[in-house]
Structures are given as structure tokens and as C-alpha cells.
Amino acid sequence: MKRCYKWICAALLGVTALSCQKYLDIVPDNVGTLDYAFRNRNEAENYLFGCYSTLQHLSDVIYNPGFTTSAEIVYPILDVHFFNEAGFNLIRGTQTTGSPVLSSWSTMYQAIRRCNIMLENIDHPIDLKEPEKTRWIAETKFLKAYYHYYLIRMYGPVILVKENNPVDVDIEATKRKRATLDESFDYVLQLLDEAIPGLPPVIENRAQEFGRITKFIAMSVKAEVLATAASPLFNGNPDYANFKDKDGRNLFPASYDPQKWEKAADACKAAITKCEAQGLKLAEVVPTNNVGDVSDEIKEVIKLQNIITQRWEESSELVWGLNYGFNYQGYTIPKLTSKAVGMANTYPSNWAVPLSEAELFYTKNGVPITEDKTFDYTNRYVPQEGDEANQHYIKQGYQTAQEHFNRERRFYAAIGFDGGIWFGNGQLNEADSYYVQSRGIFATSGPKSLNSTNMTGYWPKKLANYLSVMDETFTPVDFKTPLIRLAGLYLLYAEALNEAGGPSDEVYMYIDKVRARAGLPGVREAWSTYSKTPANATRKEGLAQIIHQERRIELAFEEQAGWDLRRWKELQGVLSRPLLGWNIQEENPVDYYRPQSVITPLFGLKDYLWPFSSSDVVINENLTQNPYW
């Protein structure tokens, strides 16, 4: 019973730091035995929270490749470091085999071993009732599945740790080989199928148990796993066709399998049905907390902004979220007042949104700015004074780029820009709203110096709670970013359906549900009326790209785009050209609105999968390094 001591210690270390307040130390000082960890229900429950602890850490966005490598947000290289910006630097080509950045290889396997210990010892607590035992086994199997899945997304085929090695195992037996990609996905799906029946349908006590796994969470994750397996990066990818291990086995499937999309579509529909049966629906409620005299247009903007910044207890579409809060609002809010300038010592540089991300959002007609027949794309950088028609989004009389006019509501909810209205920050009547002034950032005085640290001239407004205030001090109203929202699940279902069988009424219906909430016409109506390429909405390939762009817009800044762009094999295209911002040193709008390169990304074919560290490959000679590294 005293075997695996080092695994117990590893499990205990992360519990209090990474989990919610209820997660406590498992054993007193100098006691690290399995006898103690599973002597009764309470101690075993604490060990279960230890299994959850790695999951809680995943919601810290700066360590999530889905957030930092998406090119949705960029960050300058500073001499003084205020947080770990290594993830943001990955698009600069900093990845190496000597010390892989954001590597999760060891961390996830420690978590998997912890789960195995839990499953091995779950029968020991004599006061653990059968229903609770069933639930804990199901939760642990889910966690074990998710940790394997996280590794697959990063590394491709993985080592499957179905059982832990005994502590006295021969050293050669610890040098396990990678499973094939299909074997890896199949094992994750097997664990999820075993877990789902034992999970509760809903969390009854959200104050105490928010973040613990339910049936509809597990079913939604299963849908995502199947969609990932069906996607171009992993489904018959010719770039990996000849990738073999040292025994000559093909680690990737040799050919494309269309049935994988059918399985993904079925799983998406099952997850949606279960979510809706539990009362989940798209959030349509306009927030009223401290909101004063505002127009209907501003109400719609803060409704969209509030989807991810609202309290999780109030969210109607949150499928899955974690207890770890979003702790970086200070980097997402412009310095809108003269007193806020003093906050530059604490938040010296803002997270900046590249021009390519801002231009991703549709026009008010619901089609891309490159396709809208009514949008003057050629002159989009020419300054224009804010007018009455756009007064709720742009300061009247202030000169800003033409491309900021007549955009969809999600643009105004997600992006802060020069001349753009910024509702909130302590001003909760629309007439008193601040507006962003970001020209001439090196001015020594006056309002133009307030936003002096944004390298592109765009802010991720979506990541700022409208009730947060940056003034003489910074008073954030905290929120937790979602892992899965119902809107994302709708779009994933539309994607899988279209890939499996092409355009259909059901595909359009689920896209249009999300678009309607944003105030946009349906896909067929928008493309047939406003697009220069109306046929794109009726062809499988064209509709696939529409769905991809819809997901990138709807889920912008939510730790999704980096993963989506990888599985679609589109990240290399996004990072194949310089990332641009405005000419931020200039005060004159004609000179300011001239795009300048802020980062020249370095991303090659090899970067779709993480490398193993050189030391790991040397220690375990059976571990085959990923292609092109």
C-alpha cells in the first residue's frame, strides 16, 4: 500500500494552488501514503479534487495554445515581464526541442497517473456510498480521457497510460511507445463512453460544485473529440502519410475517412439535445446591472459582450466552465481617463488585436468585408468623421477609418478601436460614455497619450467586463472564461453536418441561430442579397469556409481559434503574412491609418504539432519525435 509515494506527493502539490477554495491539502505534513489518502470518504474526495487540479490550471489563458497561438492577440517583447508571455512569443518562431514552450507532456501524464491512482483505490474508503462512488469513478474517467485528448491535440499520437506501472517495474517497461492516432482517439472515446452513464445530469449545487463534470459536459467534449479526429490535421493528412515509429508502424491514418464526420455530427446532435433538455439556450438577456439611460443599440452590444463576462450563475448557454478566473482585464482596457495613465506602471502594455482579426468580422449585412457589394473595401483605410447613423458605436465628429463603420454588432462588442464608443468603465449612461483615442501615442500630454501602449490600435474589448473600472485605481469585476458554449456547439454541429453531407436546411438553421442573436440575416439571405460570391453559401466547400469564419467571429478570444485553426490546417495561412496594426505614432488620421507590420510570424508545417524535448527522446528511445523536428 506504500507504493507510488512519489505519485501521491505530486498529486498533493497542485491541489491548493490550482483548484477552487474547497480543494484542501490531502494529508498532513510527513504523511504521504495511500492508506491515509483513501482512509475515508473525505480524504478520498480531496484526492478527487487533486485529479481536477490540472484541469483548473488549463483555464489560465496565457498557458493555453488555443488562446496565445491564434494570432487574435499580440504582445510586445518587453525588458520587464509582468506575466509569462512565452505563449504569445510562439508565433515569433521561439519553439525548440531543447525546451519546448507550453509543453504539457509531463504535466498531463502526472495528472493521468493521479487519475489511475484514484481508480485503483476507489474501493478503499469504507464510508463511501455507492451512488457517490459511481459518480467519482465517472468523473475520474472523464478527466483521464480529457488529459489524453489535450495531449493528442498538441502532439498527435500519444502514449496511452491505461494503468500505472508498479513502483518496482523494470526500467525498460517504463519506456512505452506511442499508440497510433486512431488508437489514441479510440481510447479517449472509450473512457468518455464509460464515464457518461455515471455522471449527474446537472450540477444542483452550483455554488459548491461548479466546474465538476455532468453528462452534457462529457457529451459535448465527446462531440469535440470526434470533430477533431475528423478534421484535416488528423484525418488522412498527407503531410504525415509516411510518419512511422521505430517499429515501422504508421502512426497517422493513411487515408481520409468521411464517416468520422458522420460520427461527429451524431455526437454533436446528441450533446445539443442533452444540453437543451437541461434548459440551456442562447443568452438573449440584456444586462441591467447598474445600466442607466442607454439606446437599444448599446443594449445589444453589451448583451453580446456580456455573454462571456457575466457571472456563471446567470449564464443560460454555458456548457462548461472552470473555477479559475480571467485575471488579465488590466491588459484589455484602454486608459480612458487622465487618472488611468498612472496604471501604466502596473499594466505597461495592452494586449493588442491585429488588423487581420478586426477585419475578420462581418459588415452589418452579415457577409465578409471583402465580399459585401455595399462596402467600399478599396477605401476602407480612408478616415471619415463619425456620423449620426453610427453614433452608438463611433464618436460623432471624430475621424476614424471607414472600415469601422457599418460593421456587425459583434465587432463593436469584441473590438475597441480609435474613435470607438467604450460603454462602461464607470460611465453607465450612454451620453457619458468614453471613446477610445489612440492616435499619436508618444504625445507627452493630453488625451492622446492615454493609450500609449497598444501596438496595433485595437483592444480585445470582449475580454473586459463593462462594470470594470480603470481610473485612478483598477477595480475589475471578475469573470471566468468558458470552455464550451452552446453557440460553439451549434456551429460545430453545422460544420460536421456540412462536412458529412453538404449544405442542408439543418446546417443553415444552426448557423442562423447564432447569427440571429447577433442581429444578422440568415446565411442564404445575406449571401444572395449582399455578397459578390453568392454561390459560396450553396456549395459544400464555400459553406465550410463560412462556418469557419462564423466560429472565429463568435468565439473570438475564447481559447478556441488556435485549436480550430490547427485542426483545419489553416493556422499556417493565417501566420504566413505579417501581422499589421495602425501607424500608432502618428496624430494625423491620414498618417495614422496606414497599416504597419508589428510582427512577422514564423510558423511552418512542423509547428502544427508540438515537439518532444530532446531529453525525453533520449531517455525513452521508443518515443518517436514528431515530424519535421
Q: Residue 89's CB: how many other CB atoms inside 10 A? A: 18
Q: Which tens digits make up the pLDDT trace of 296-305?
A: 999 999 999 9
Band (pLDDT 50/70/90 cuts) for residue 190 is: very high
List beta partners, residue 597.
580
Which range (80-89, 343-352, 495-504) has the least confidence? Answer: 343-352
Cα dihedral value 528, 534, 540, 542, nearest 10: -130
Asked if the model's pLDDT at residue 595 lies above 70, the reply is yes
The percentage of the chain sitting over the pLDDT mark of 70, rounded to a whole number, equals 93
Does residue 452 register a pLDDT over 70?
no
Quote the pLDDT of residue 16.
32
Q: What is the pLDDT of residue 441?
A: 59
Predicted pLDDT at 32: 57
Query: Mind listing the pLDDT tens digit for each residue in 465-504?
Result: 999 999 999 999 999 989 999 999 999 999 999 999 999 9
Q: Which three-class secondary structure string do you get for 127-170? A: CCCHHHHHHHHHHHHHHHHHHHHHHHHHHCCCCCCCCCCCCCCC
Q: Give per-residue pLDDT as tens, 216-248.
A: 999 999 999 999 999 999 999 999 999 999 999
| pLDDT grade for 348, boundaries at 50, 70 and 90 | confident
Residue 17 grid cell: 494552488
* Mean pLDDT taken over the chain: 91
User: Which of the pair, 12 or 138, is modelled with greater confidence?
Assistant: 138
| pLDDT given at position 81 | 86
For residues 8-29, give the mean pLDDT: 34
Q: What's the pLDDT score for residue 13?
A: 34
**Higher pLDDT pick, 340 / 375:** 375
Least confident of 22-36, 157-171, 224-238, 571-585: 22-36
Give the whole-angstrom CA distance, residue 358 versus residue 375. 15
pLDDT band at 312 (very low <50, low <70, confident <90, very high): confident
pTM for this one? 0.93
Tell me which range, 177-186, 282-291, 471-480, is most confidently predicted by mean pLDDT.
Answer: 177-186
The pLDDT of residue 23 is 29
Neighbours of 471 (CB within 10 A): 16
- Cα distances (angstroms) measured from residue 500 to each of 257, 496, 524: 10, 6, 20
- pLDDT value at 447 more than 80: no
Q: What is the pLDDT of residue 449?
A: 39
